[in-house]
Each structure stands twice: as structure tokens, then as C-alpha cells.
Structure 1
């Protein structure tokens, strides 16, 4: 039995130099649909053709190509984090909060691959 109860959503987070350019490319080349640009947060998100799977773009001055982070939706990030930490899972710093948008926490598998939990804080959560 798993330690935590994940939602049926996954976001693949990419580090990019220009979120708007990336969104246009993914729309034109792969037919993905823009969900939103959160300019204050430096984040954009697109719907893929696969139900429950989105692509997110985090804007960075020095993007890290080839380093995609799967982001798993969860209803209660604090409870999930406590359960995972209790089982020895290593997290990368404190849970981050963007008020009215999202809470996130990055953790690592045994080989050091980054994964992230995300709790939706919008009214539509």
C-alpha cells in the first residue's frame, strides 16, 4: 500500500529561457493547448493530448535542458510530506507556497532523480 494518495494528474516541468516562446512552439508543433501564463510566478502551463498530463514551463536565465521534473498532484501536501519523510525520503528544502496558486515540495528517489508534489490552492482545487 502506498504511503500517500496521489491525484490522477501529472505535470512535467521543464526549465526554459522564454515561457511564451516555448508555449508557442509546443502549440504549433505538438498541438498542445495553453492553459495559462502566470507571469508573476514565472510559470506557464499547457494541456497535452493525454488526459491528466500537462507540461509546465519554469523560466530561468540558465535553463537546464534534459532535466524534466514530474510533478504529482496531491490534496494534502503537508500530510504527504510528513509520511514520506517518516519513511526516509529526502526533500529539497521547505515546502514552497505561492499564495492563491500552489504549494510545492521537491523530493528525490534513491538515484537522486527529482520529483515534486503540488497542492492546488486555487478556488477550483
Structure 2
């Protein structure tokens, strides 16, 4: 990623998972992240070819679905960061990890219930 190449600092607990496009992300992807240790998921889109309004609405809808599993919708955030201003992503990482620290870790019972639902 460009942040790594640039040696830009961001919180060490951030794990970057590249995907071709945020349009492929679904409920199972987000549930999988929470089931296996994530306390929050920050989804960043960089492509101008994606309909941002659609993706933003979809992420809000996915947040509502996550609530059915006991995951607060504030643990998921979507942001558009075009490539020319990619350093903004590091700021988002810091802001988002600060927010998640206030929430604290996702309860193990919730993770367990999600893993059971996903049958993993």
C-alpha cells in the first residue's frame, strides 16, 4: 500500500485487507472480521468508478444487519479516499481506532455467537 511505501505512521493494530472493490463486501465478510478478532472495520474506497452514494447506503444497511448480531453499527465506518489524497487514510485509521478504544473490545460471547452463526 502507498502508506507503507511512504512510511506513513498509523496505529499498529490496524490490519489492511485489500479487496478489488468495496462493492463486493457483504455481511459475511464483516461478520467474519468480527468473529476472528476485529473490534471495528473501516472500509475505504479509493476508486472514482464506484457509486459512492450506493456504497455509503449499503454500508449503513450492513451496519443495521450487524446490530442483529449484537455488533454496534458504530464499529463500522465507510469513507471515500481518492488515491491523490491517500494520506488521509492514516488520519482515518487514527480517528477510528480512537473511537473503537472508547467502545472497548467486542465481547467474546458475541464473537462466539457470530462464529456459530457462520458455522466456522
Same fold, TM-score > 0.5, yes or no: no
User: Greater helix share, 1 or 2?
Assistant: 2
Q: Which fold has the larger relative contact order, with Cα–Cα distance below 8 Å and residues 6 or more apart in sequence?
A: 2
Q: Structure 2 length as normaliser, TM-score? A: 0.28
